[in-house]
Copies of this chain bind each other. A is one copy, B any other.
Amino acid sequence: MKLLTRDTDYAVRALVRISRSKNQIVSVTELVKDLKTPRPFLRKILQQLNRNGILVSYKGQGGGFSLARPSHKISVVDLIGVFQGPLEITECLFRKKICPERSTCALRREIGRIEEFAIKQLKDVTIMSLSNGGSRWPRAR
């Protein structure tokens, strides 16, 4: 089971890389060099981040991407939202047809609590918190 899919993961790395860069604008070419992710896949991911207002893009020679807002305002939860939909681990297993007493179900209740906890914890993990401080992940090699 994975909490983060690969696109979310790549997105995190790319954003951290951009936020650490001296230049505001960073091109895919530059990112691929460090991150060693498949180039067309990374492009698709960055375009999604652009469409979702997390990155701003600049076309043409010398173009690339830059953060659309300060790195401490981009949370891992936001990225999960973009690539995996809202963080929600209960799913539709509990839809009424199958489970007529969902309101009193202990299992459902616990899963709800776990979900809450997960969101609360991940909200504070931002691109900023991953970029500096003790943690130096993910870094270039």
Q: Which residues of A contact B (CB under 8 A)?
A: 1-4, 6, 9, 12, 76, 84-85, 87-91, 93, 98-102, 104-108, 110-111, 113-114, 117-118, 121-122, 124-125, 129-130, 133-139, 141
CB proximity of A110 to chain B, nearest CB, Å: 5
Whether A9 and B130, one on each chain, are in contact in the complex, defined by CB atoms closer than 8 angstroms, is no
- Distance of A100 Cα from B138 Cα, bound (Å): 8
Whether B91 and A1, one on each chain, are in contact in the complex, defined by CB atoms closer than 8 angstroms, is yes
Partner of A104, one of B2, B85, B118, B135: B135
CB proximity of A37 to chain B, nearest CB, Å: 10
Whether A101 and B139, one on each chain, are in contact in the complex, defined by CB atoms closer than 8 angstroms, is yes
With A9-B93, A110-B121 as known contacts, state yes or no: A104 contacts B136, CB within 8 Å: yes
4 cross-chain pairs, A with B, having the tightest CB-CB distances, nearest first: A105-B137, A2-B91, A3-B89, A106-B135
Give the residue name and chain of the B residue nearest to A98 (CB). Answer: B138
Chain B residues within an 8 Å CB radius of A129: 106
- Distance of A102 Cα from B137 Cα, bound (Å): 7
Chain B residues within an 8 Å CB radius of A88: 1
With A9-B93, A106-B125, A125-B106 as known contacts, state yes or no: A100 contacts B139, CB within 8 Å: yes
- Distance of A121 Cα from B107 Cα, bound (Å): 10
With A1-B84, A90-B3 as known contacts, state yes or no: A135 contacts B9, CB within 8 Å: no
